[in-house]
Structure 1
Amino acid sequence: MTTTTVTDHPNPDSVSTKVMETVNGSHQFTIKGYSLAKGMSPGRYIQSDVFSIAGYDWVIYFYPDGKNPEDNSTYVSLFIALASDSSDIRALFELTLMDQSGRGRHKVHSHFDRALEGGPYTLKYKGSMWGYKRFLRRTALESSDYLKDDCLIINCTVGVVRARLEGPKQFGIALPSSDMGQGLKDLLDSEVGCDVAFQVGDETYKAHKLILAAHSPVFRAQFYGPIGNNNVDRIVIEDIEPSIFKAMLSFIYTDVLPHVHEITGSVSATSFTNMMQHLLAAADLYDLGRLKVLCEVFLCEKLNVDNVATTLALAEQHQLVELKTFCLKFVASPGNLRAVMKSEGFKHLNQSCPSMLSELLSTFAAGDKSSTSGLESKKRPVSSVLAIDTHARQLRKRI
């Protein structure tokens, strides 16, 4: 006995998909003076203008006395024919005699919206036709709402079958990564085309008004707003340290947070956290939303008992609700509260935001009430860590 094993390959080396679809189009053919066409004799027709659908020419034939002589003009015949020098065209068709009463009771013969046992109809050569020799009895037509004011309206829809291949396209050209940020940073560093200078303490930084305005609504209003001044070429910046303003400029041009060593000359985590706190304040001042969120995420991830009080004060001053809630939950943990109260940052919090103390106590009291047993109390530090991680992930989603 021979056994054949079929192995499933969930990750094949290549894939492709053949999509069979129709390219559709329609044409309306109106016959005025129907009664004058009667008596032409069977086999003779009235022809529509040639029309194009899916790159092929088509024509409608209407036989007032029928196509078959043996029917003795009992029926009218209706056909659609290929008028292009083409062969083996596969298509779907729909021939409709329009109800002119407005009730929508059209007489429809259609390939569309139904299963086809033999598939689409194939037209072998120019002149190939599809339609009905006995489309409708002539007496029924002449007593119906299809005929109005001696006029008939025929609508024809053609759907030419096409096959297209979908699959991975193999190129021998490697797509380079975007270097727009680096290009703009080089422009900033070279000072080429700069049209405004910022005096920040003892340092001077040159920049481009258009680039600043594109990223900051505050700069946009300052340079191009109704009360702005586009002619200003020098601005004095107060209350922002030179290194922080430099970091903010770097982000505006690159959309990337600068390395702490580039800005502060230090590699310590404390220096980076301090810079992020000041950078967050600057981002809020100039309405740089993405920079604010990046700073919030960083401060959440690096939160500890030494910096949480100053971060909480910052969140309160700049109305950063998520960062504030995050800090309060961290401080309210019994394992953290005592250590935080001994920190220098807590003294700063007490002086700059005394109202936060009552809010902190309320958060602590709410957390304390939720602990109904010693075992639950022991589990609280774990839940606190999970809450911090959840807040950090929520902030990342906003980036």
Structure 2
Amino acid sequence: MADLSASSAGWRRLPKTSSVSLTEAATATHEFRVTSYSLLDGVGVGQHVSSSIFSAGGCHWIIRFYPDGCKENGSAAWSSVFLHLLWGATDVRVMYGLGILQKDGTEVWPVTQTATEIFEAPSDSRGYPDFVAKSWLKHSSCLDGDCLTIRCVLTVIKGSHVEDVDVGSVGSYAWSVFRIARPIFAAFWHCHGLVRELVARGSAKFRQAEELDPQGG
């Protein structure tokens, strides 16, 4: 039968290494307030208004809102919204959500969330041609004094890298300390044994001398 204690000791002697994969990302939120919405109704398919420039992940972005939609051959019954990469890196991996704020600013409707998208180059856009029905929007609680607020939550995924981690276990650390200190402890106990033996011999001889000469003379 194998000696389990010996096997366990051998396992503790094995070198241990560890690494971790770290993915970096940068998140930004931008709210784009569109005023005088009723004046934009009928502006024409493909016409848009743009937010100011905001930055995230080392790139610069804008939101484009199309009151009458972006499809030239489509219906003007839907408004469109897009996230547009103005300038920055190429092949940018992004997770984003676009939605309309309610009047109280605490809710977003409709909430639209994408999977990870790749913006291949500046001037690339991603978004929703059929973002919200114009008939619904005109009678909703999202218009606050003829103003509409669009919120974008944007996360730029920068990439991953690997780092080595020093995570030596208690068992391996203890074994290393014991391996170094074992000769020291062995020498100590050896000397301690010799001292005990010498003291015992000295005590025995002293007792023998007292027995032979009880008067000490």
Q: TM-score, normalised by structure 1?
A: 0.36
Using the alignment, how far apart are the partners of 1:138 and 1:93 within structure 2?
23
Corresponding residue of 2:111 = 108
Corresponding residue of 2:25 = 22
Corresponding residue of 1:3 = none
**Greater relative contact order: 1 or 2 (C-alpha under 8 angstroms, separation 6 or more)?**
2
Contact 1:51 1:57 in 2 (8 A): yes
1:34 to 1:14, Cα distance in 2 relative to 1, 3 A: same
Corresponding residue of 1:151 = 147
Match of 2:164 among 125, 142, 167: 167
Corresponding residue of 1:195 = none
Larger helix percent? 1
Corresponding residue of 1:32 = 35
Residues 77-110 of structure 1, C-alpha deviations (whole Å, 9 max, x = no match): 0110111142100010010101115673522101
Using the alignment, how far apart are the partners of 1:11 and 1:70 within structure 2?
69
Corresponding residue of 1:45 = 48
Match of 1:129 among 125, 147, 153: 125
Using the alignment, how far apart are the partners of 1:27 and 1:133 within structure 2?
20
1:9 to 1:60, Cα distance in 2 relative to 1, 3 A: farther
Q: Which runs of 5+ in 1 are unaligned?
A: 1-7, 170-399
* Aligned-partner SS, 2:90: coil
Corresponding residue of 1:59 = 62
Corresponding residue of 2:135 = 139
Show the 5 A alignment for 1:230-249. Answer: none
Using the alignment, how far apart are the partners of 2:145 and 2:87 within structure 1?
34
Residues 221-260 of structure 1, C-alpha deviations (whole Å, 9 max, x = no match): xxxxxxxxxxxxxxxxxxxxxxxxxxxxxxxxxxxxxxxx
Percent pairwise identity: 27
Query: What displacement does 1:9 show?
Result: 10
Aligned Cα root-mean-square deviation (Å): 2.4
The code of the aligned residue for 1:52 comes to S
1:47 to 1:105, Cα distance in 2 relative to 1, 3 A: closer
1:106 to 1:72, Cα distance in 2 relative to 1, 3 A: closer
The code of the aligned residue for 1:138 comes to K
Using the alignment, how far apart are the partners of 1:128 and 1:105 within structure 2?
25
